[in-house]
């Protein structure tokens, strides 16, 4: 056995001495850790009797104290609790969003929770009582030829409001605007008027007001001034403040304006704007205008604004439009809504532009809510709109959105050409059904005047009296009367058939089918007939033939590309190639616009929209070939009828609504083509 040497013993003794002299070790204290909250972060429909609760853990099990900050925005929270409890009760209001944060302290370290938020249950509250602005109560010399009734009204839930206007106790009009113009009142008469506001549940009536119209030939008073900037109630307005208003005179008189700020006259001016520089920050001011035409005086309503002491940030760009951009709707009353916020949490106002052109006109200024009900729209029209968000100092313009007002239709009946025959498909009933009506099959078929025409190894005509055949073969078929579309009486019926190398024009009668002409082509893929013109796609491009004389068709125009499919409507041609979608003028086939596409298959046009089947996609465009939406879909034939799109896939037929959301389907194997059964 070996024993330690004296040197080793001396070294160990020295180490033990140092350890004993170093004193006790000090452990590091760890921070508390946030675990959970009640309500959970982002919770909605929270009851107003809910108690705030929170959970923290401490690694050393130290006693914790808490500070709770609470408010309606992150910038405006305040300390509402400090103590040992892990719960606190706050008075909550319905239809509001709250923000809060908890800070836990173990005596050495503090830990903040993240910012938490929740929204209380929404309840509908009645609108505020409407305030009548114009004609001003008890005003006189009002122009009897044209009276503009204006009022102010807000809803605490920002519900869209409808208004009923009453004049001398009789109903005058319903409107969603905050004004209404009435023409040709009686001169020299005192009228009483009031407004009822309706939010869908509650109706609130304004106090009545009177006005007296001017006598015939008497000078009429100026109209009531309307605010432009800053909007009434604007907050965080930068100094200096430019006051702007709008005012006119029914007699066309020149006007002079007196500007009053907090009941003190600031200036006389013949301009409709005035700059205020000597203002204090973070202060609310009221102002109004007196308009004079030299004879009569009109006093405008009081407006308010609050100045800002700090630098102002612009509002966010309006987003989340409803209806969605490029959507189709089926109502004539449409509620427009959008989302915008302000980094400074300033009160926002909105200017709404709306119309039928891509540069829509301004229709409403200084909206205080982020929605507007537009009524009495026309069917089958495209409408454009945009929103400008304003905080009283700066503004942010949103993009131009659009939507299409379609006509809601029912489901349709179809014909399907399958590998084992022809089926009638009925989507008008639930569930959808298929019925085999013929064992004849082929490459393509067409439905015309209650007869079904099929082309394959031979040409077949299926009618109520039976089946007739002729020895013509082909890949594509179209049956129509080749006459100018302005003719009232249709002429002879012709079948246009393409095979691998030609276009055949066949005359059809009850007794026979005979060939009228033949046109050489380069691997044709599809055709379309409109009036006397035949549009044919092949590897050389799109060819337009005038077949008014079917025995001697004349090539009118052509467009070079590898053409796959074509659809003609009015004066436009929508052409699909292997790599593009074209919009051409139908007269000379001149290109108007094109867009790229991978492996296009079929194209269809209906109610202002272009639908294209491409490689694994169904794509929807507007009539100017701006892409609206696409979905993943492997299909090979498509027809559209009003509100519904029908596509043939390997498994059967899928039905989509106008926004490409699937609504129905039917299993049927081996479909080659589908047609609408009209």
For residue 277, tell me if it sits in a domain: yes
Angle at 83 between CA 78 and CA 84, to 5 degrees: 140
Together in a domain, 87 and 184: no
Together in a domain, 46 and 110: yes
* Residue 671 vs residues 507, 533, 631: alpha-carbon distances, Å: 28, 29, 21
Together in a domain, 81 and 173: no
Q: What's the structural domain count of the chain?
A: 3
* Residue 537 vs residues 105, 288, 503, 550, 565: alpha-carbon distances, Å: 78, 70, 10, 19, 6
The closest of 669, 640, 642, 677 to 653, measured between CA atoms, is 669
Together in a domain, 135 and 222: yes
Q: How far is CA 212 from the centre of its chain?
A: 44
Calpha distance 446→450 (Å, rounded): 10
- Taking the alpha carbons at both ends of the chain, their separation in whole angstroms is 111
Together in a domain, 235 and 96: no
Q: Is-contact 307 322, C-beta < 8 A?
A: no
Strands 190-198 and 203-205: antiparallel
Together in a domain, 107 and 144: no
Calpha distance 217→187 (Å, rounded): 10
pLDDT score at 270: 93
Calpha distance 426→677 (Å, rounded): 9
**Percent of the chain, pLDDT > 70?**
94
Among 388, 405, 422, residue at a domain's last position: 405
Together in a domain, 97 and 215: no
Place of tokens 């005047």: 449
The closest of 180, 182, 177 to 153, measured between CA atoms, is 177
Secondary structure of 288-312 in the HEC alphabet? Answer: EEEEECCCCEEECCCEEEEECCCCC
Calpha distance 402→373 (Å, rounded): 15
Angle at 533 between CA 541 and CA 463, to 5 degrees: 110
pLDDT score at 26: 43
pLDDT digits (tens, 9 = 90+) for 352-381: 999 988 899 998 888 888 988 898 888 878
Strands 65-71 and 139-142: unpaired
pLDDT score at 218: 87
Res. 8 pLDDT band, cuts 50 70 90: very low
Calpha distance 157→162 (Å, rounded): 14
Together in a domain, 159 and 47: no
Q: Is the pLDDT of residue 620 over 90?
A: yes
> How many CB atoms are located within 10 Å of the residue 584 CB?
24
Question: Between 326 and 635, whose confidence is greater?
Answer: 635
pLDDT score at 236: 85
Place of tokens 């106090």: 207
Mean pLDDT of 151-180: 90
Together in a domain, 343 and 301: no
pLDDT score at 483: 83
Angle at 57 between CA 53 and CA 58, to 5 degrees: 140
Question: Between 409 and 552, whose confidence is greater?
Answer: 552
Res. 439 pLDDT band, cuts 50 70 90: very high
Question: In the numeric block, which tokens belong to residue 478?
Answer: 């179209």
Together in a domain, 102 and 139: no
pLDDT score at 9: 39
Res. 19 pLDDT band, cuts 50 70 90: very low
Q: Cβ neighbours of residue 86 under 8 Å, at least 6 residues apart?
A: 53, 54, 55, 56, 66
Res. 490 pLDDT band, cuts 50 70 90: low
Mean pLDDT of 253-265: 94
**Size of the chain in residues:** 678
pLDDT digits (tens, 9 = 90+) for 493-533: 998 999 999 999 999 987 689 999 999 999 999 999 998 99
- Per-position DSSP letters for 332-358, written without gaps between them: SSEEEEEE---TT-PPPEEEEEEESSS
For residue 635, tell me if it sits in a domain: no
Q: Is-contact 66 86, C-beta < 8 A?
A: yes
For residue 499, tell me if it sits in a domain: no
Weakest-pLDDT range from 64-73, 230-239, 342-351, 401-410: 401-410
Among 251, 280, 307, residue at a domain's last position: 307
The closest of 288, 233, 230, 298 to 264, measured between CA atoms, is 288
- Per-position DSSP letters for 236-253, written without gaps between them: EEPSSEEEEEE---TT--
For residue 216, tell me if it sits in a domain: yes
Q: Is the pLDDT of residue 621 over 80?
A: yes
Among 258, 279, 307, residue at a domain's last position: 307
Weakest-pLDDT range from 9-23, 130-144, 348-362: 9-23
Burial 202-240 (b: 16+ CB within 10 A, else e): eebebeebebbbbeeebbbbbbbbbbebbbbbbbbbbee
- CA torsion 261-262-265-267 (nearest 10°) is -10
pLDDT score at 578: 87
Q: Is-contact 610 638, C-beta < 8 A?
A: no
pLDDT digits (tens, 9 = 90+) for 22-73: 444 445 688 899 999 999 998 988 988 899 999 999 988 989 999 999 998 8
Mean pLDDT of 213-217: 89
For residue 222, tell me if it sits in a domain: yes
Task: Tell which phi-psi region holds residue 457, choosing left (phi > 0), alpha (psi between -120 and 50) or beta.
Answer: alpha
Task: Give residue 59's domain range.
Answer: 33-120
Place of tokens 């401490």: 58
For residue 356, tell me if it sits in a domain: yes
- Per-position DSSP letters for 552-590, written without gaps between them: S-EEEEEEES-EEEEEEETTEEEEEESSEEEEEETTT--
Calpha distance 430→289 (Å, rounded): 65
Assign residue 59 the CATH number of its domain.
2.60.40.10
For residue 560, tell me if it sits in a domain: no
Question: In the numeric block, which tokens belong to residue 564?
Answer: 């796959």
Q: Is the pLDDT of residue 293 over 70?
A: yes
Please compute, for residue 678, the number of CA atoms within 13 A of its CA located in the half-sphere on the CB side.
10
The closest of 528, 533, 586, 574 to 555, measured between CA atoms, is 533
Q: Is-contact 600 581, C-beta < 8 A?
A: yes
For residue 429, tell me if it sits in a domain: no
Q: Is-contact 442 456, C-beta < 8 A?
A: yes
Together in a domain, 329 and 283: no
Place of tokens 């125009």: 557
Together in a domain, 75 and 161: no
Mean pLDDT of 199-217: 93
Please compute, for residue 565, the number of CA atoms within 13 A of its CA located in the half-sphere on the CB side.
18
């Amino acid at each position: 056995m070996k024993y330690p040497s004296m040197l080793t013993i001396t070294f160990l003794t020295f180490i033990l001495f140092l350890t004993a002299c170093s004193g006790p070790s000090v452990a590091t204290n760890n921070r508390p850790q946030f675990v959970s909250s009640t309500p959970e972060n982002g919770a909605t429909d929270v009851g107003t009797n809910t108690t705030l609760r929170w959970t923290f853990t401490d690694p050393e099990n130290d006693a914790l104290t808490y500070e709770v900050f609470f408010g309606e925005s992150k910038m405006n929270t305040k300390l509402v609790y400090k103590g040992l409890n892990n719960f606190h009760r706050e008075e909550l209001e319905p239809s509001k969003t709250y923000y809060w944060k908890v800070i836990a302290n173990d005596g050495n370290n503090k830990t903040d929770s993240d910012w938490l938020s929740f929204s209380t249950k929404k309840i509908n509250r009645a609108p505020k009582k409407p305030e009548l602005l114009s004609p001003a109560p008890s005003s006189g010399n009002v122009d009897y030829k044209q009276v503009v009734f204006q009022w102010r009204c807000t809803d605490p839930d920002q519900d869209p409001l409808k208004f009923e206007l009453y004049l001398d106790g009789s109903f005058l009009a319903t409107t969603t605007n905050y004004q209404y113009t009435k023409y040709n009142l009686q001169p020299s008469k005192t009228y009483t008027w009031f407004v009822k506001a309706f939010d869908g549940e509650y109706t609130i009536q304004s106090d009545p007001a009177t006005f007296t119209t001017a006598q015939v030939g008497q000078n009429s008073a100026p109209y009531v001034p309307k605010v432009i900037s800053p909007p009434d109630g604007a907050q965080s307005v930068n100094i200096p403040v430019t006051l702007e208003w709008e005012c006119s005179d029914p007699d066309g008189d020149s006007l002079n304006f007196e500007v009053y700020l907090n009941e003190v006259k600031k200036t006389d001016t013949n301009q409709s704007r005035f700059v205020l520089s000597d203002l204090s920050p973070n202060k609310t001011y009221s102002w109004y205008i007196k308009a004079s035409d030299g004879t009569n005086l009109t006093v405008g309503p009081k407006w308010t604004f609050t100045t800002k002491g700090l630098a102002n940030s612009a509002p966010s760009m309006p987003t989340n439009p409803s209806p969605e951009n490029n959507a189709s709707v089926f109502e004539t009353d449409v509620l427009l809504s959008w989302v915008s916020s302000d980094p400074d949490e300033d009160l926002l106002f909105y200017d709404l532009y709306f119309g039928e052109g891509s540069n829509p006109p301004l229709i409403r200024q200084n909206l205080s809510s982020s929605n507007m009900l537009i009524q009495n729209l026309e069917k089958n029209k495209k409408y454009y709109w945009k929103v400008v968000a304003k905080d009283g100092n700066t503004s942010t313009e949103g993009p131009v959105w659009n939507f299409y007002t379609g006509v809601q239709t029912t489901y349709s009946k179809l014909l399907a050409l399958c590998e084992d025959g022809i089926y009638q498909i009925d989507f008008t009933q639930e569930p959808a059904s298929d019925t085999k009506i013929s064992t004849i099959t082929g490459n393509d078929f067409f439905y015309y005047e209650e007869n079904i025409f099929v082309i394959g190894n031979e040409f077949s005509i299926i009618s109520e009296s039976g089946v007739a055949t002729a020895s013509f073969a082909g890949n594509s078929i179209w049956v129509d009367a080749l006459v100018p579309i302005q003719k009232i009486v249709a002429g002879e019926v012709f079948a246009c058939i393409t095979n691998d190398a030609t276009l055949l024009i066949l005359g059809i009668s009850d007794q026979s089918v005979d060939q009228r002409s033949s046109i050489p082509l380069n691997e044709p893929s599809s055709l379309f007939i409109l009036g006397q013109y035949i549009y044919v796609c092949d590897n050389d491009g799109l060819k337009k033939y005038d077949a008014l004389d079917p025995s001697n068709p004349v090539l009118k125009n052509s467009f070079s590309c590898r053409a796959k499919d074509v659809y003609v409507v009015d004066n436009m041609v929508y052409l699909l190639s292997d790599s593009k979608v074209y919009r051409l003028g139908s007269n000379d086939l001149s290109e108007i616009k094109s867009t790229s596409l991978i492996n296009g298959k079929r194209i269809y046009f209906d109610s202002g929209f272009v639908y294209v089947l491409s490689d694994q996609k169904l794509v929807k465009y507007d009539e100017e070939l701006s892409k609206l939406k696409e979905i993943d879909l492997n299909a090979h034939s498509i027809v559209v009828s009003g509100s519904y799109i029908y596509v043939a896939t390997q498994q059967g037929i899928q039905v989509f609504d106008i926004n490409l959301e699937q609504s129905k389907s039917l299993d049927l194997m081996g479909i080659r083509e589908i047609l609408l059964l009209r």
